[in-house]
Structure 1
Amino acid sequence: MFIDHIRIYAKAGDGGNGHVSFRREKFVPRGGPDGGDGGCGGHVILKVDPSTDNLRQYHFDPKLIAENGQHGSKYKRSGRGGKTVVGKVPPGTVVYRANADNVQDAVKLERSEEGIDLEPVADLTEEGQEFVLCSGGVGGKGNTHFKTSTHQTPTESTPGTEGDRGVYYLELRRIADAGLVGFPNAGKSTLISKLSHAHPKVASYPFTTLQPVVGVVEFGDFRRCTVADIPGLIEGAHENRGLGHEFLRHITRCRTLLFVIDMAGSEGRDPISDLEILRKEIREYDEELGDFPWIVLANKMDLEGADEKLKIFQARFPKVKIIPISAELEEGLEPLKEYLNEELGYRA
């Protein structure tokens, strides 16, 4: 199960209360105040873990709750601080706070409902990066702190403060170095299965891929890169038609885009029109995506008519890098791997 966005509830620990007590030891029947301070509550922290590739761990338990601080006690003993909870997230996780009148209302809200106000609070991209999602409460002061020269037996203490809490949305926006962009049935799933050890579902009907599939492409000398087979795009995706934003948000963090075009037009489509529509949908969703590095993978070159259409396509886009391939027959994959290694390869 691949989970790329989820709502969670987070609650930091409350601070422990300060204690009121007085020394009552043998031969010290009227000792001074000795109430200890309360311990601080634990924080809720999100930490980027490169070994985590999605948010699946929060699907069945969508909450992060830290431990409360313990109360102070006599003999000036401070309460133990609450344990901090660390939630692991993959690189490229964007964190939003759900603003509502109260936490109970926010818990009931879904991301798609009207009226919910999402405030971005963190963009977690670097390995090991940490973000304090909720700060723990501060421990209260014991009555020891209220003793003065004129107030020898104070009975005052302060309670611990509450820890922060709230409802948050986690959204994964970078899942791979390169993203395969194309219409349904363009051959993206077949291609990634040939390039890597990923095993997406492959069939000859639209939207075979309903969730992103990430494959690791090995180049030798311990060099590699990751490529994502993302659900097929349709015209109007920037308006959230079809899988719309479920697809488009994933390519905002890819380092390069690989447009997979059915060069044979086997679905009755026109390759030139397909590329123009795909480019338009991407720009409409996010103008910055239009400036991303990109190339064209002319797929299905083994089918009749593909060679002729490729010549027309090259004449229409003379400055675009085009790599002819046949994912089904594994033809043209070596030039593609050389390109990926040169542009995106890194040592594991």
Structure 2
Amino acid sequence: MSSLTEYRDYQDDQSFVLNVVELTCVAVFTFDYLARFALTRRNKVVHVLSLLNMIDLLAIVPSYVELLLEAKGIGALVVVRILRLFRIFRLLKVAKYSKQLPILMKSIHNSVGGFAVGIFSLFMSLILWASAIYYAETVFCSLDPTDNTWKYDDGTLSDFQSIPDSLWWTIVTMCTVGYGDTYPITYAGKAIATVVMVSGVLVLAFPLTILAGNFMTEWNEFLVKEEKKSLKRWEKSFRRIVKEAEMKGEEQVEGMMPRPRKLLEEVWDDLLTLKSNVDACERAIHTVKIQIKKLDLLIQQLDISVKLTELERNEVAKKEDVGGSEVGEKGKVSYEIR
């Protein structure tokens, strides 16, 4: 809010209200951080260096540094403006109270290998297509010696003056954004642009598919854990109901038990969760079967190669035996002649 034009004057009453809200939030966050630091039973260093506590510290310290610099009259420095960006770390505090956000973080962590391959493929594709579009456009241009730029025959300046300049168009096209600030004009450039559009979808789909698969795996595990917790809560509630029924008499058991509709809804949710888990297991089993078939084909190929090697060895041995017998007969005949 403080970046808006109407709030940039710190003498304004509305800006004063924002500053009060800012200082109140910083005070609350500081109290929370110091209280957890004082009451923790873990090692103090380990507690401070944990990820979420580091995020809390980064959300608090820049505010105090900004106040100190402004008190000394150097609040207009660019450093202070950069420190204000660290306020956004306060939003990451929501991760402490969210059950679903860690699932996304685990999925990203498990997809690092796929992301590395995807980024490498994207980098190679960018270099390849940037070079291709550069040469496809400049082959129909002429170099103007006055300003050392590529121009078309009608004198229009080409948007693809170099391969680094062409990288921007390649990134925008492969990501299917298409700003339209630069675009090819020649037929060769348009043909390459068509290939770049299709290849961009394929290159970007590879790491995203890996992330989606890992996310579904983590999500199914999360559903199973939540289902176990729900069953434990239901079991505790049922035992409590039974105990209360034993104390109050059997006539009141029916009124204390859950309604049939609620039980049916819970059973239906359990069946849907079980079905999703079964589908995931079926996909995993199908993948394993495919790998087993590949191994069987590989073993068959190895058997064929071994048999071919044995046949070649047998043929070589037969040739050697035949050659040795012929030499022996020739020697015998020559001996008889003598």
Structure with higher RCO (Cα < 8 A, 6+ apart): 1
Same fold (TM over 0.5): no
Query: Going by fraction, where is strand more abundant, 1 or 2?
Result: 1
Computing the radius of gyration from Cα coordinates, the structure with the larger value is 2
More helix by percentage: 2
Shorter-normalised TM-score: what interval? under 0.3
Alignment TM-score, normalising by the size of structure 1: 0.20
